[in-house]
Amino acid sequence: MAHAPHRAFAEESARRSDDADASDKGRDVVRLIERIRAKYAPRITGELVIPPRAGQYVPFPAGLDARLDHALRARGIHQLYSHQHQAWNAIMDGQSVVIVTPTASGKTLCYNLPVLHQALTTRAKALYLFPTKALSQDQVAEILELNQAGDLGVRAYTFDGDTPGDARKAVRTHGDIVVTNPDMLHQGILPHHTKWAQFFENLRYVVIDEMHTYRGVFGSHMANVLRRLKRICRFYGSAPVFVFSSATIANPGELAHALLGEAVTPILESGAPQGKKHLLLWNPPVINADLGIRASSRSQVTRIARFALKSGLKTIIFANSRLMVEVLTKYMKDVFDHDPRRPARVSAYRGGYLPTERRATEKCLRDGRIDCVIATSALELGVDIGSLDVCLLNGYPGTIAATWQRLGRAGRRHRDALGVLVASSDPLDQFIVRNPSFFLGASPEHARISPDQLLILMDHVRCAAFELPFQDGERFGGEPLGDMLGYLAEEGVVHHEGDHWHWMADSYPANTVSLRSIAEGNFVVIDTTDGKKEVIAEVDYSSAAMTIYEGAIYMVQARPWQVERLDWEGRKAFVTRTQADYYTDAIDYTKLKILDEFEHSGEPSASCACGEVHLVRRIAGYKKIRYYTHENVGYGQISLPDQEMHTSAVWWRVIPAALDSVFANRWSALDGFLGAAYAMHSVACLLSMSERHDIGRAVGDSQADWFATVSPDGRAMRTPSPGAALDGFMQGDQFSATVFLYDNYPGGVGLSAQLYDLRDKIVEQAQALVSLCECREGCPACIGPILAGEQQRGFSPKAAALKVLSLLRPPHDA
Partner 1 sequence: MNLKRRITLLRTQSGHADGAPSAAAPPQPSFKERVEQLRRPENPRTPMAACERDTALAQRLNGRLVADGLIEVDDVFPLAHAHGHRPLARLLDAPLGTLAPGGASDPEGLLLVDTETTGLAGGTGTIAFLLGLGRIERAGLRVRQLFLTRFSGEGALLARALEWFQAANTIVSFNGKCFDLPLLATRYRLHRMQAPFQPLGHLDLLHATRRLFSKSWADCRLRTAEERFLGFIRTDDLPGHLVPVAWSAFLRTGDLRSIPAVLEHNRWDIVSLAALAAELAHLYGSATHPEADLVAVARQKIASGRLQEAAEHLNGHGGRLTTPAWQLLANEYRRQGRHAQAMAIWEALAARGSNEAMEDLAKHHEHVRKDYARALDYTRALLEQAPGEARHGQRQARLMAKARRAGLLPK
Applying CB under 8 A, which residues contact partner 1? 191-195, 197, 454-455, 458, 465-469, 479-480, 483-484, 486-488, 490-493, 495, 497-498, 500, 502-509, 518-522, 541-542, 544, 569, 571, 643-646, 745-747
Closest approach of partner 1 to the CB of residue 690, in Å: 18
Closer to partner 1 by Cβ: residue 163 or 576: 163
- C-beta closer to partner 1: residue 191 or 240: 191
Q: In the chain, what is the straight-line distance between the N-terminal and C-terminal CA atoms, in Å?
A: 41
Rounded to the nearest 10 degrees, the angle between the axes of helix 797-808 and helix 759-771 is: 150
CB of 611 to partner 1, least distance (A): 14
Of the pair 421, 465, the CB lying nearest partner 1 is at 465
Secondary structure of residue 571 in the 3-state scheme? coil
C-alpha of 787 from chain center: 32
Neighbours of 761 (CB within 10 A): 14
Q: How many CB atoms lie within 10 A of CB 75?
A: 20
Minimum distance between the CB of residue 590 and partner 1, rounded to whole angstroms? Answer: 14
Output the smallest distance, CB 205 to partner 1, in A.
23
Task: Give 79 or 511: the residue with its C-beta nearer to partner 1.
Answer: 511
Pick between residue 127 and residue 519 the one whose CB is nearest to partner 1: 519
What is the distance between the alpha carbons of residues 98 and 246, in angstroms, rounded to a whole number? 7
Q: Which is nearer to partner 1, 237 or 340 (CB)?
A: 237
Q: What b/e sequence results for 503-517 when a residue is b if at least 16 CB atoms lie within 10 Å of its CB, and e otherwise? A: beeeeebbeebbbeb
Q: Is the dihedral of CA 189, 195, 199, 201 positive or negative?
A: positive
Q: Is 616 exposed, middle or buried (0-12, 13-18, 19+ CB in 10 A)?
A: middle
Cβ proximity to partner 1: between 6 and 172 the closer is: 172
CA distances (Å), origin 557, targets 109, 350, 429: 35, 13, 19
Q: How far is the CB of 737 from partner 1 (least distance, A)?
A: 27
Whole-number minimum distance, CB 467 to partner 1, in Å? 5
Q: Of 413, 330, 423, 467, give the one whose Cα is nearest residue 769.
A: 423
To the nearest whole angstrom, how small is the minimum distance from the Cβ of residue 155 to partner 1?
Answer: 22
Q: Tell me how far apart the alpha carbons of residues 636 and 624 are, in angstroms, rounded to a whole number.
A: 8
Find how far residue 16's CA is from the centre of its chain. 39
- Residue 757 C-beta: closest distance to partner 1, Å: 24
Q: Closer to partner 1 at the Cβ: 187 or 425?
A: 187
| Least separation in angstroms between CB 367 and partner 1 | 47
CB-count burial class (<10 Å; 0-12, 13-18, 19+) for 806: middle
Cβ proximity of 590 and 616 under 8 Å: yes
Q: Which is nearer to partner 1, 483 or 727 (CB)?
A: 483
How remote is the C-alpha of 733 from its chain's centroid? Answer: 43
Question: Using only C-alpha atoms, what is the Rg of the chain?
Answer: 28
| Residue 235: CB minimum distance to partner 1, A | 9
What is the rounded CA–CA span in Å between residue 790 and residue 784?
13
Q: Which is nearer to partner 1, 294 or 460 (CB)?
A: 460
